[in-house]
Amino acid sequence: MSLSTEQKFWSLLKEQSSFQEAIGLMAWDMRTKAPSKGMDNRSEVLGVLSQKVHEIQTSDVLKEYIEELKNKPSSNRLTASLQVAEETYDRTTKIPASMYREYVTLQSRAESRWAEAKENNDFKSFQPYLEELVKYNREFANLWGYEQHIYDALLYNYEPGVTVEQLDAVFPKVRESLTSLLNEIKNAPVQPDPEVLKGHFPKQQQEKFSEEILKRMSYDFEAGRLDETIHPFAIGLNVNDVRVTTKYDEKDFRTAVFGTIHEGGHALYEQNIDPNLSFTPLATGTSMGIHESQSLFWENFIARSRPFWETHYEVFRSYAPRRFEQIPLEDFFRAVNEVKPSLIRIEADELTYPLHIMVRYELEKALIQGDIEVKHLPELWNEKMHSYLGVTPRKDSEGVLQDIHWAGGDFGYFPSYALGYMYAAQIQHAMKQEIDIDETIKAGDFHQIKQWLTKNIHQYGKMKKPLSILNDVTGEGLNADYLISYLTDKYRGIYQF
């Protein structure tokens, strides 16, 4: 019995998805447990597998299936899969297969060299790899095409529908509001005491508390795991295998605890995509910004809230060193919400975090446009950090080398972090219309919150475009006012001005 065109289409997508899962598993291994001597060989293998995916995405057979099926009556699942497959085909066919394979191999090698450069504080050893990555991305952007700004072509990979024009209209408003609020905080008469948080906190105990909170968030450990890495990430291999990684600092528990909750927010998204979307291009988050909205919602709007610690401080104390028994809840809450400009993005407080993103956005946009050169990045990075945050890196490992994104070729990704924060504030506002969030958090049961997110966002995977998700959930387009109001109200309360 011969297969129908639709059956053949699904079979081809399943083959593509299987290669992508293998690539994801290897990427997780390289960032967590793989031996350093195996990196070059692993990079070659990744190049081969990625070429297989590229061949499927650009095959004449796939195009034939799309053309035959797209104008026939079909299910929402098939219609959306055809749209994503066709869009991917159109963009991917513009990149020669040999060029793509070379790029994937370069990405893997660059990540390995970046890790070494960061450890040795040696930007110049990484510079040639970054120059090549920038060169490739410029070429890709030109091949894909764009209407106004070359950087728009790269933004599309992570946040389709968002442009430089839109970002440049919104980001300055947020930056001005936050820098103004930051100045008020610096001059506030009441300041939190961060010393109450300092001291040795064994990694094993941090891990146990992190696992406890992930469970309370409804993260399914039978469909995931928690591991250690140099740069935290979450990765969804399939809906039943979504992994979280974190980084432990025994001198500052906040790195792991809030980092794990952040990655857990990403993981909940991937674990709760409709299983019927498995083995299709829809079985993933709709955009990096919507994805980031989920991680920042859990990390900031939930885990940094007063109601959260009113309920979970005693749980925390059961894992923490005994000195925390002498620290009042109010002192602890204010300390974990201290606003203090820092050098490291992933350790930044929630108010200054968007400013870190704007430093990176402005630099990579200028790189892609050709306004600056890679060799000048360390100096330019330091200048912007001093201008926006009032701090200057002493070495490149805590400056321009701190993030893995450029080493992975992820140009156009960073704006998603700030967009995600704005999305999260809008989503929280919408959720408040249906759920008493504070009382739910105080009850220590996040199931209702998780269900709401699954119903309105998670289940759809990539069935909906990011701005459609935002509009369906909140009833409006991107609006930065909710984030500005949230941060202003919260920190005027904490700092009492």
DSSP 470-481: HHHHHSSS--TH
Do 112 and 217 fall into the same domain? no
Q: Is residue 32 helix, strand or coil?
A: helix
pLDDT digit string (tens) for 332-364? 999 999 999 999 998 789 999 999 999 999 999
* 159 in a structural domain: no
Tell whether 357 is covered by a domain.
yes
Shared domain for 326 and 468, answered yes or no, is yes
pLDDT of residue 217: 96
Q: What is the pTM of this model?
A: 0.89
Residue 104 maps to a domain: yes
Task: Render pLDDT for 442-472 as a digit per residue (tens, 0 to 9).
Answer: 998 899 999 999 999 999 999 999 999 999 9
What is the distance, to the nearest Å, from the Cα of residue 167 to the centroid of all Cα atoms in its chain?
18
Percent of the chain with pLDDT over 90: 90
Query: Where among 145, 176, 191 does a domain terminate?
Result: 145
**In CATH, what number is assigned to the domain containing residue 289?**
1.10.1370.30
226 shares a domain with 175: yes
| Best CA proximity match to 127, nearest among 407, 390, 357, 404 | 407
Beta carbons within 8 Å of 381's beta carbon, 6+ residues apart: 359, 363, 393, 399, 400
pLDDT tens figures, 224-244: 999 999 889 999 999 999 999
**Rounded CA separation 354/345 (Å):** 9
> In the listed set 113, 145, 177, which residue is the last one of a domain according to the structure?
145
Any domain includes 9:
yes
- Whether residue 219 lies inside any domain: the answer is yes
Task: Say whether both 89 and 187 belong to one domain.
Answer: no
CB atoms within 10 A of CB 301: 24
Residues of the chain where predicted confidence (pLDDT) is lower than 50: none
**Cα 41 to Cα 419: distance, rounded to the nearest angstrom:** 37
Task: Show the domain range for 199.
Answer: 164-495
| In a shared domain, residues 138 and 174 | no
- Are 456 and 335 contained in the same domain? yes
Domain count, the chain: 2
Asked if residue 157 is part of any domain, the answer here is: no
Q: At what angle do helices 39-57 and 97-120 cross, to 10 degrees?
A: 150
User: What's the DSSP call for residue 329?
Assistant: H
Do residue 170 and residue 124 come from a single domain?
Answer: no
Are residue 387 and residue 240 in the same domain, yes or no? yes
Residue 350 is among the residues annotated as catalytic for this protein: no
* Residue 186 token pair: 């610096």
Please indicate, yes or no, whether residues 108 and 191 belong to a single structural domain of this protein. Answer: no
Same-domain pairing of 132 and 171: no
CB 265 within 8 A of CB 298: yes
Of the three residues 145, 176, 205, the one that is the final residue of a domain is 145
Indicate if 251 and 138 belong to the same structural domain.
no
3-state class (DSSP) for residue 241:
strand
Q: What's the confidence (pLDDT) of residue 135?
A: 97
> Which H or E element spans position 235?
strand 234-238
Whether 150 maps to a domain, the answer reads no
From 263, 292, 362, 364, the catalytic residue: 263
Model pLDDT, residue 1: 61
- Examine the domain organization and report whether 94 and 187 are in the same domain: no
From residue 79, give the alpha-carbon distance in Å to each of 71, 74, 230. Answer: 9, 6, 40
Say if 152 falls within a structural domain.
no
